[in-house]
Amino acid sequence: MLLEQIEHRWLAAFRRTLELCALAPGDVVGIVTESQSRQVLVELADLAVQAMGATPVRLRVPTPALDVPAPVRSTGASDALQQLEPVIAALSRCQLVLDCTVEGLLHAPELPRILAGADGVVPRLLMISNEHPEILERCLPDAQLESTVRAAMRRLRGARQMQVSSAAGTSLQIGLDGARVGGVWGYCNKPGQVAHWPGGLCLAFPGAGQVSGTLVLAPGDVNLTFKTYLRDRIVCQIENDHIVAIEGSGVDAEMMRGYYAAWADREGSQAAYAVSHVGWGLNRRARWDALAFYDKRDCNGTELRAFAGNFLYSTGANEVAGRHTLGHFDLPLRNCTVALDGVNEVDQGQLVEPGAQG
């Protein structure tokens, strides 16, 4: 069992990440939390901020009641702030916001207004993923990871097509015209930046009608909404961005069908079945097998979105394509080959070193 308490080494990890965020003495740091936040992260953040001569200010709101038919996981779209004006106003005046909400504010409707700043201050926001501190410590970011992610984002922005294939049977064609490209390396040091820790991936939100083919989830691939390694093979047929068939006889496939159906029933649309984002992991410190070492309550699975060489296929909300839904699956796949305009970024699950892409 892992205890959740202040440990010197975890405080050191938080300090290191705050240094990478360019936190300066005298800065005011808004630590935004909700009643279901992992308290040890809030305490570590608070102490690390103070250790660097800056001032932490905590804003804690109650975790709102669930008003949907199924638990919401891994969306990065927390509804904790409930459009509360005083909270938005306070956070928009902090140099740095440390986001300790359960789901994270990455896609929260209040985020643009927070990042717009006020009184001459433009905040940056670091979402501290809801993980046990040991996970954050192991996945500590560094400047090398930033340059790796930035370079991958440049190549992704410059590409027109992503092709994904695997021996298991995946064969996807993804058009990138009009896609929005993002990337995260685990810290933010410029006004207006948003990051999450752990980081280390690049991704694209494709425009409407850009994705088709077959996505094959093989045993050992991961469903991060359920925080499980798949035991069975699942074949998803994708037409016009949407999964139109989930083929497979095991419990894994059944559970996916059931969760998708909950959102389709609730929302009266097929938006939950459509692609949200596609990308690949770049963090060599992040581990595919990490879920085996932690209880489900100890982790949020962000590490598995980032492990080097995974192909991350996600369904759910995609603003670029004009689709909104609360259903979200993040599905890291192993052993895929990911190519941009025919040039491999990932070769059978292994990151291709920059310059060796041929």
Interaction site with Fe ion (CB under 5 A): 314, 330
- Nearest approach, Cβ of residue 240 and Fe ion (Å): 20
Tokens read off for 154: 């440049």
Please give the full DSSP string across 224-249, using - where no structure is assigned: TTTTEE--S-EEEEEETTEEEEEE--
Q: Which is nearer to Fe ion, 314 or 335 (CB)?
A: 314
Directed axis angle between helix 39-51 and helix 8-20, to 10°?
A: 60
Q: Which is nearer to Fe ion, 99 or 330 (CB)?
A: 330
**Phi then psi for 252, rounded to 5 degrees?**
-55, -45
Q: Which is nearer to Fe ion, 90 or 176 (CB)?
A: 176
The answer to whether the CB of 280 falls within 8 A of the CB of 313 is: no
- Nearest approach, Cβ of residue 277 and Fe ion (Å): 6
- Nearest approach, Cβ of residue 330 and Fe ion (Å): 4
Q: Which is nearer to Fe ion, 221 or 330 (CB)?
A: 330
CA dihedral angle for residue 123, residue 117, residue 151, residue 174, rounded to 10 degrees: 120
- Nearest approach, Cβ of residue 276 and Fe ion (Å): 6
- Nearest approach, Cβ of residue 143 and Fe ion (Å): 25
Provide the β-strand partners of residue 274: 242
Q: Which is nearer to Fe ion, 30 or 301 (CB)?
A: 301
- Nearest approach, Cβ of residue 75 and Fe ion (Å): 7
The answer to whether the CB of 136 falls within 8 A of the CB of 200 is: no
Taking CA atoms, 356 is separated from 25, 298, 348, 351, 352, in Å, by: 42, 38, 15, 10, 7
- Nearest approach, Cβ of residue 317 and Fe ion (Å): 9
Q: Where are the alpha helices (DSSP H) in the chain?
A: 8-20, 39-51, 85-91, 111-116, 133-138, 143-157, 251-267, 302-306
Q: Which is nearer to Fe ion, 175 or 182 (CB)?
A: 182
- Nearest approach, Cβ of residue 291 and Fe ion (Å): 16
Q: What's the CA gap between 177 and 321, in Å, rounded?
A: 12
Q: Which is nearer to Fe ion, 49 or 211 (CB)?
A: 211
The answer to whether the CB of 322 falls within 8 A of the CB of 208 is: yes
Count of beta carbons in the 10 Å neighbourhood of residue 38: 21
Q: Which is nearer to Fe ion, 303 or 330 (CB)?
A: 330
The answer to whether the CB of 288 falls within 8 A of the CB of 310 is: yes
